[in-house]
Structure 1
Amino acid sequence: MPFFEFLAGSISGAVGLAVGHPLDTVKVRLQAQTVYEGICHCVAQTYSHEGVLVCAPIDLVKVRLQGQTCTNRYRGPIHCLAVILREEGLRGLYRGGMALALRDIPCYGLYFLPYEVTRKALTEAGEQPGTFTVLTAGGVAGVVTWAFATPMDVIKARLQMSGAGGRQYSGVVHCIRVSVREEGLRVLFKGLLLNSLRAFPINAITFLCYESLMKILRPPGE
């Protein structure tokens, strides 16, 4: 039933986000700023200064909260939202929205293809996929998807941070042009390793939760 699929998807997605959120913070900081020497340095600096908690209700607020290195600008998600509305207006809430759409629309279309291909490849004909198969297929799906998503994810993060003291960009094309000119093509793959490291466990757990919940919620005989 669609309701059970929605419920299973919502719960499994929440579990996946909870698992991957700490590394997501590090990813945003590496992509949007140049003050970190690498993954280990960014992790050490982030947690030594700010601890483990980060709150992120929506993507823009999430990126702003994750990207700030001064702990006094935003006191939390509600305060961050209020500051954005006060300083940038309603339009400010949609900063980076085009880059977000360009990242998510094609990648959501791609997302389930590697999952299904991997799952079928690891499952014997006539058998149900086991836990290892679902975990592996989900992890592969996440890594493949984020490999395609990372370039636009970098641009999205930079556009969203531009209203919070970051470099100012007039749009997606301008951001790409300036970023590539100043840092080379490799800038578009900034955070790719970290995206892959976080994508595998997040999506492995997400798909396992979904498949497990559907077995519980699906009516007998379906």
Structure 2
Amino acid sequence: MFTGSSSEFCKKQSPAADCTWQQTDRQLSVSPHPHSETGEISGREAGCQAERSGLSGGEKRAVRRREAGEKRERSGREAGCQAERSGLSGGEKRAVARLSAPAMRGEERVSPLKNFLAGGVGGACLLLAGHPLDTIKVRLQTQPKASCTQYVLYTGTYDCFRKTISKEGVLGLYKGMGAPLAGVAPMMAISFFGFGLGKQLQQRDAGTPLTHTQLFLSGCLAGVFTTVIVAPGERIKCLLQVQASSGQSKYAGPLDCAIQLYREQGLRSVYRGTVLTLIRDVPSTGLYFLTYEYLKHFLTPEGQSVSQLSTPNILLAGGVAGILNWMIALPPDVLKSNFQTAADGKYAGLVDVLRTLLREEGPSGLYKGFNAVFLRAFPANAACFLGFEVAVKGLNWIAPGW
């Protein structure tokens, strides 16, 4: 590196025009400290301009020609790079943009403790936003089939909502929420843990992105993990929701319901419907996480990290993921609700539940509660992912060293 004055720097060059070439080469070699280098180069440029004032007219024209040639060469290189980039796909362009902004690459690593706490916040948001419509869904799914001499209890989603409010008040929409709320923090923690473990097991190289199939399988693993907590919670929730609509008072609350179920038939009764819960949750959770991950990256602006995704885009990605999740989860969910709330001995097994439902109500019976489910899916899951993302950012601010 030349450390002399700007005048000596230019005088060392034998032809006067060589000063420009040395200066250009120096500008192309950018150091890790751009501000100090910019000041140094600007000082040398000022010195060279002062020296050029003493050149003859021919020498000045020679210097300008060399500068113009160098400028055309740089412009050609930049145009070539732009032409190559124009043929890239949208995802490839975003990848190039992220590589050009190292400080913005990748998502922040979150500790298991932060995952657990943020997952609890996300699950609580999901329940608060979605439980009223979940209550309506279960009551529509489990209402008895109308006979020739009696009308159906509820004619639809709005009718169920109106009758529930008139008979039980607003709190009637939140019947049975205690059981899932008590298990929401470990459930969401295990869900995100299972998804992260699935990705880690399939990703040999940290720099290689996972395929869509691998993301789907990671989500399926999360569905398997959460069934241990979800199955008994769903059983208790459905019994309390149906009990409230029928006017009976067999169970005083979630804890009393769990105790009575255990006393009657042990853990087998508490975990009744586990296989149907697996059939519902494994593929739907796989699609759930796949959709959210895909939309997060798709909606992330170029040059930014997915951790910087805006609130409207988080809500959109979470809401769409929730809708697609329930599109394949609804039929097994109907079967599960009927099986878990039926009297002992009514069904011989899972196949018998399906056969009985198809015989009595036809294929449309598998989509009972369709309107309530899809009205609930978008806001509930949008709130879930927004709560999770906000909680993670808050924890990173409060305790960055966790």
Q: 2:132 aligns with which of 16, 22, 25?
A: 22
Name 1:115's counterpart in structure 2: 292
Which whole-Å deviations, capped at 9, do the CAs of 1:29-70 have from their partners, x for residues lacking one?
A: 111124321111111222222233313312211100001211
Structure-2-length-normalised TM-score: 0.51
Which whole-Å deviations, capped at 9, do the CAs of 1:189-209 have from their partners, x for residues lacking one?
A: 111221111111111111111
SS in 1 for 2:347: coil
Name 1:215's counterpart in structure 2: 393
Residue 220 of structure 1: CA displacement?
A: 6.0
Name 1:179's counterpart in structure 2: 357
Name 1:59's counterpart in structure 2: 234
Name 1:126's counterpart in structure 2: 303
Residue 120 of structure 1: CA displacement?
A: 2.5
**Which residue identity lines up with residue 372 of structure 2 in the other structure?**
L
Answer yes or no: is the 8 Å Cα contact 1:150–1:189 preserved in 2.
yes
Tell me how large the CA RMSD over aligned residues is: 2.0
Name 2:157's counterpart in structure 1: 39
Q: For the residues of structure 1 that align with 2:267 and 2:391, how far apart are their CA atoms?
A: 38
Q: How many residues are aligned here?
A: 219
Q: For the residues of structure 2 that align with 1:144 and 1:30, how far apart are their CA atoms?
A: 21
Distance 1:70 1:91, change over 3 A: same
More displaced, 85-94 or 39-48? 85-94
Q: For the residues of structure 2 that align with 1:191 and 1:81, how far apart are their CA atoms?
A: 26
Q: For the residues of structure 2 that align with 1:83 and 1:215, how far apart are their CA atoms?
A: 42
Residue 97 of structure 1: CA displacement?
A: 1.6
Matches within 5 A, 1:75-114: 75-114=252-291
**Which residue identity lines up with residue 118 of structure 2 in the other structure?**
A
Distance 1:74 1:220, change over 3 A: closer
Name 1:195's counterpart in structure 2: 373
Distance 1:119 1:39, change over 3 A: same
Q: For the residues of structure 2 that align with 1:193 and 1:24, how far apart are their CA atoms?
A: 11
Percent identity over the alignment? Answer: 45
Pick the structure with greater CA Rg.
2
Answer yes or no: is the 8 Å Cα contact 1:147–1:192 preserved in 2.
no
Q: For the residues of structure 2 that align with 1:124 and 1:73, how far apart are their CA atoms?
A: 54
Q: For the residues of structure 2 that align with 1:168 and 1:46, how far apart are their CA atoms?
A: 27
Residue 88 of structure 1: CA displacement?
A: 4.2
Q: For the residues of structure 2 that align with 1:168 and 1:50, how far apart are their CA atoms?
A: 29
**Which residue identity lines up with residue 21 of structure 1 in the other structure?**
H
Name 1:143's counterpart in structure 2: 323
Q: For the residues of structure 2 that align with 1:220 and 1:81, how far apart are their CA atoms?
A: 39
Distance 1:163 1:85, change over 3 A: farther
Q: For the residues of structure 1 that align with 2:267 and 2:311, how far apart are their CA atoms?
A: 45
Structure-1-length-normalised TM-score: 0.90
User: RCO higher in 1 or 2 (8 Å CA, sep ≥ 6)?
Assistant: 1
More displaced, 41-50 or 140-149? 41-50
SS in 2 for 1:124: coil
**Which residue identity lines up with residue 119 of structure 1 in the other structure?**
K
**Which residue identity lines up with residue 59 of structure 1 in the other structure?**
E
Answer yes or no: is the 8 Å Cα contact 1:139–1:204 preserved in 2.
yes
Residue 134 of structure 1: CA displacement?
A: 0.3
